[in-house]
């Protein structure tokens, strides 16, 4: 009986102590998407990327709906949820890509996120996520379940439309949280943010991400050509931007840490005022490719000369704090 109570309370406190980042208006924006129905995969390559202006704590969940808000009660378009399941804080300005595919065509059991994890959600029976065959609208929000929004964060609209979401709180429809291609590129099938990658404030971040005419690049499908992979800018995900905020200098809440150069060819250097207790390097499928609990013995550097080119994730521990950083090997 005692063991039962110990287990019960351990599980209870573990549950209530999982903290997540509560996001505000405009703090998460869509930074690219691929909705090309001529992808040669029957819609099984549809994707979108998002970027957060603030760090995302372990357990943070962000929800996305491609259904028009005024039809949330009965719309048959899809919903999904992304969660930070890395076990550590994801640095601000980290671009996160989700291959959403086409749920109706059974393109895999779940969407695939390059950081964290994503799952389809069921808000309306018979609803399916099918980005390339819908209006390519994404409503970003947080809440206890699909289409149960406590906090609206931003809206992304790629198609021409005069029917903006009805009944959504008006601040969400202001230019500081609405990305719309209306009147600029009404039916883009591939698009990426291509503007500034450093920001002076949240206001600046929102202004740059929503400046579609100045800071986005597009392609329209034509003649059955897969514009997401044709070698003509922009391709997806090859031309998604990496933001220097998550590539060179970042930090824990009370700990300053930097790592350079990034991209790296040979040695990656880490610099911190406090002692780094552990570093773990993962590849994109989550396999540990390097670990060092005595980095000071290596002069706080990691020899990456023998690593294959690509993206890696570096989990750094300083005392009780951990954070995951993105590293590019060239």
Identify the pLDDT of residue 232. 78
Other CB atoms within a 10 A radius of the CB of residue 171 amount to: 12
Q: What is the pLDDT of residues 114-123, one digit of tens each?
A: 899 999 999 9
Q: How many CA atoms lie within 13 A of 18 on its CB side?
A: 14
Identify the pLDDT of residue 134. 62
Q: What is the pLDDT of residues 98-146, one digit of tens each?
A: 988 777 776 767 888 989 999 999 998 888 888 776 667 899 999 999 9
Identify the pLDDT of residue 162. 46
Three-state secondary structure of the chain: CHHHHHHHHHHHHHHHCCCCCCCCCCCEEEEEEECCCCCCCCCCCCEEEEEECCCECCCCEEEEECCCHHHCCCCCECEEEEECCCCCEECCCCEEEEECCEHHHCCCCCCEECCCEEEEECCCCCCECEHHHCCCEEEEEECCECCECCEEEEEEECECCCCCCCCCCHHHHCCCCEEECCCCCCECCEEEECCCCCCCCHHHHHHHHCCHHHHEEEECCCCCCCHHHCCCCCCCCCCCCCCHHHCCEEECCCCEEEEECCCECCEEEEEECCCCCEEEEECCCCCEEEEECCHHHHCCEEECCCCCCEEEEEEEEECCEEEEEEEEEC
Identify the pLDDT of residue 142. 94
Identify the pLDDT of residue 80. 95
Identify the pLDDT of residue 96. 94
Instruction: Give every residue of the chain whose pLDDT is below 50, as ranges.
Output: 1, 3-18, 38-40, 162, 245-254
Buried b / exposed e along 218-232 (16+ C-beta atoms within 10 A):
bbebeeeebbbbeee
Distance separating alpha carbons of residues 247 and 91, to the nearest angstrom:
9
pTM attached to this predicted model: 0.69
- 163 is written with which tokens? 């029917």
Q: Map out the domains of the chain with their CATH numbers.
A: 28-245 (no CATH), 247-329 (2.60.40)
Identify the pLDDT of residue 246. 42
Contact 81, 64 (CB under 8 A): yes
Identify the pLDDT of residue 36. 63
Distance separating alpha carbons of residues 41 and 67, to the nearest angstrom:
23
């Amino acid at each position: 009986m005692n063991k039962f109570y110990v287990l019960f309370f351990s599980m209870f406190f573990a549950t209530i102590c999982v903290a997540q980042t509560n996001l505000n208006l405009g703090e998460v924006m869509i930074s690219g998407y691929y909705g090309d129905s001529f992808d040669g995969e029957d819609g099984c390559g549809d994707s979108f990327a998002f970027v957060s202006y603030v760090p995302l704590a372990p357990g943070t969940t962000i929800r996305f709906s491609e259904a028009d808000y005024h039809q949330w009660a009965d719309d048959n378009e899809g919903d999904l949820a992304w969660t930070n399941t890395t076990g550590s804080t994801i640095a601000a300005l980290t671009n996160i890509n989700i291959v959403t595919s086409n749920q109706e065509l059974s393109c895999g059991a779940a969407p695939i996120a390059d950081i964290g994890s994503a799952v389809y959600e069921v808000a309306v029976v018979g609803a399916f996520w099918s980005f390339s065959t819908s209006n390519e609208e994404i409503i970003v929000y947080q809440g206890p379940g699909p289409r149960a929004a406590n906090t609206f964060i931003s809206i992304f609209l790629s198609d021409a439309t005069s029917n903006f979401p009805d009944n959504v709180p008006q601040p969400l429809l202001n230019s500081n949280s609405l990305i719309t291609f209306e009147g600029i590129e009404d039916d883009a099938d591939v698009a990426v943010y291509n503007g500034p990658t450093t920001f002076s404030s949240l206001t600046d971040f929102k202004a740059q991400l929503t400046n579609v005419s100045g800071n986005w690049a597009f392609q329209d499908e034509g003649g059955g050509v897969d514009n997401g992979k044709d070698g003509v800018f922009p391709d997806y995900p090859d031309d998604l931007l990496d933001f220097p905020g998550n590539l060179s200098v970042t930090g824990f809440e009370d700990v300053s840490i930097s790592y350079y150069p990034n991209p790296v060819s040979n040695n990656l250097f880490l610099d911190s005022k406090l002692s780094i207790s552990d570093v773990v390097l993962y590849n994109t499928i989550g396999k540990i490719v390097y670990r060092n609990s005595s980095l000071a013995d290596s002069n706080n550097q990691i020899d990456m000369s023998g690593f294959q080119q690509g993206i890696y994730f570096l989990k750094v521990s300083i005392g009780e704090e951990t954070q995951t950083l993105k590293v590019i090997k060239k």
